[in-house]
Amino acid sequence: MKETRMEITYRIRLCKACGMCSKSCPAQINIPEALGIYKEYQAGDMEILEKLDEMESPGKPVDCIECGACSAKCS
């Protein structure tokens, strides 16, 4: 099931960067790193989204296929 904007915002705030979600991501996205960048964006840093393209993980947020595996892993 696709998450609502409010659910995603909630997940960003609560993320403890445990990395469990990334282990199940078929797109190999460093999800906690991406969430950290979005957190700074939500705090008002409009320039920081450029860092999404500089992430070192093989996958970037743009590669997300919305499979939902990450949500299932996050407690």
Give the footprint of ligand SF4 on this chain (CB under 6 A): 11, 15-21, 24-27, 29, 31-32, 35, 64-70, 73-74
Please tell me the distance from the alpha carbon of residue 54 to that of residue 41, in angstroms, as a whole number: 15
The alpha carbon of 22 is separated from its chain's Cα centroid by a whole number of angstroms, namely: 9
Q: What is the dihedral of CA 60, 64, 69, 74, to 10 degrees?
A: 50
Of residues 30 and 47, the one with the C-beta less far from ligand SF4: 30
Closer Cβ to ligand SF4, 47 or 53, answer by number: 53
Provide the minimum distance between the beta carbon of 71 and ligand SF4 in the complex, in angstroms, as a whole number: 7
